[in-house]
């Protein structure tokens, strides 16, 4: 029997496996007709407990274009979560209806929990302020297409690095490529969480710079990754009001950037990129959304192990292992934003990362009981 594969964080794929997904996405882009029935008879469930435009629609478009069908909800209020159903129970049941699941949830670690209880592949489509690995697939596929490489890059990450889950996943993925420099541009209230730095950059040869002024560093960047200040994750609305327009990329700032720099943004944007920048040939954020659909088509095929995909991989389907999370009677997770502290019937589980025992769901370090 084939082992079930999930895609919960960029770490679930090696650099080689990512390249296989991108190579497959290239083939789909070149000849979409050849793939139009590949997932005939398969059902994707999109369980979106949090708003989304691009991620949900690109997943649904991806499945339709592969000849499969889609069920699901785009609003938690129309699901049984409002009656108090746990993620674990929903996950147990969804495997009876669907062949693959994409889940977005406002609480960190929810798709990771679903993957434990669901008997079909689970894709993390964004969990709270933690991870967003399919946006990272989109980002990497865009960078590879536009710049022709995923190494030798100076990447500016600008805006809300604290709550911006797309940045967390992008750092996790890119830190495995050669010669990467991250330039983290944020106000001090919104700096990258320590655990993201510790688990991905500390002790590696990644160069890591921190600054507050975009203008000061824009000239050295190959990629400028702009992000929205994540209003929905702030505990204090006044703090959001104070920080919301802290960075606005405009043509004046773009004048100091390299001619071949690309501007990425996972979207939606609010004010952080002036619309005048949209006409600049370096503005790549709308193309990025289109690359995302092809990347997700390739991901769905890969996780479902379609015949066509086996051929693409020369008959070799690579399987990657779920980490083996374990209970530890001395440890618990105390992250108030993690599902295991919110839905208390969920066991606290830990995996080893960088010599530390971290929560399987949210990656925060375990605390002595
Ligand atoms: C991002 C997300 O949901 O994290 N959007 C997306 O999926 N493309 C970014 C955001 O909401 O700011």
Nearest CA to ligand 1 atom 8: 266
Task: Describe the crossing of helices 133-147 and 165-174 by its angle, rounded to 10 degrees.
Answer: 60
Confirm or reject: Cβ of 130 under 6 Å from ligand 1.
no
Per-residue pLDDT reduced to its tens digit, 266-278: 999 999 999 999 9
Confirm or reject: Cβ of 228 under 6 Å from ligand 1.
yes
pTM, to two decimals? 0.95
CB of 247 within 8 A of CB of 265?
no
Per-residue pLDDT reduced to its tens digit, 13-24: 999 999 999 999
Positions marked active-site? 54-55, 83, 104, 132
Output the CA 63–ligand 1 centroid distance in Å: 20
CB of 221 within 8 A of CB of 143?
no
Per-residue pLDDT reduced to its tens digit, 106-133: 999 999 999 999 999 999 999 999 999 9
Residue 316: the pLDDT is 47
Q: Which of 263, 268, 226, 233 is nearest to 53 (CA)?
A: 268
Confirm or reject: Cβ of 124 under 6 Å from ligand 1.
no
CA distance 290 to 123: 19
Confirm or reject: Cβ of 10 under 6 Å from ligand 1.
no
């Amino acid at each position: 029997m084939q082992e079930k594969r999930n895609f919960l964080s960029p770490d679930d794929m090696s650099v080689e496996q990512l390249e296989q997904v991108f190579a497959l996405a290239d083939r789909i882009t070149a000849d979409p007709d050849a793939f139009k029935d590949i997932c005939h008879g398969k059902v994707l469930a999109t369980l979106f407990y949090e708003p989304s435009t691009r991620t949900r629609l690109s997943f649904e478009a991806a499945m339709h274009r592969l000849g499969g069908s889609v069920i699901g909800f785009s609003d938690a209020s129309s699901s049984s979560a409002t009656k108090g159903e746990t993620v674990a129970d929903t996950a147990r049941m969804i495997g009876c209806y669907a062949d693959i699941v994409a889940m977005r949830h406002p609480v960190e670690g929810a798709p990771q929990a679903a993957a434990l209880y669901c008997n079909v592949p689970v894709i993390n489509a964004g969990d709270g302020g933690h991870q967003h690995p399919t946006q990272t697939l989109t980002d990497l596929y865009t960078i590879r297409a536009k710049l022709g490489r995923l190494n030798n890059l100076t990447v500016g990450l600008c805006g809300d690095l604290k709550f911006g889950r797309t940045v967390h996943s992008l750092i996790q993925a890119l830190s495995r490529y050669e010669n990467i420099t991250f330039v983290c541009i944020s106000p001090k209230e919104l700096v990258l969480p320590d655990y993201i730095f510790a688990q991905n950059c500390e002790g590696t040869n990644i160069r890591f710079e921190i600054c507050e002024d975009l203008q000061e560093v824009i000239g050295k960047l190959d990629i400028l990754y702009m992000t929205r200040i994540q209003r929905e994750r702030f505990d204090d609305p006044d703090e959001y009001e104070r920080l919301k327009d802290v960075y606005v990329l405009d043509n004046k700032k773009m004048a100091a950037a390299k001619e071949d720099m690309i501007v990425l943004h996972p979207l939606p944007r609010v004010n952080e990129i002036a619309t005048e920048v949209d006409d600049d040939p370096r503005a790549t954020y709308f193309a990025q959304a289109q690359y995302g659909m092809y990347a997700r088509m390739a991901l769905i095929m890969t996780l479902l192990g379609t015949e066509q995909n086996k051929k693409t991989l020369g008959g070799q389907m690579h399987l990657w292992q779920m980490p083996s999370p374990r209970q530890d009677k001395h440890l618990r997770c105390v992250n108030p934003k993690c599902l295991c502290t919110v839905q208390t019937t969920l066991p606290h589980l830990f995996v080893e990362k960088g010599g530390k025992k971290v929560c399987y769901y949210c990656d925060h370090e375990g605390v002595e009981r």
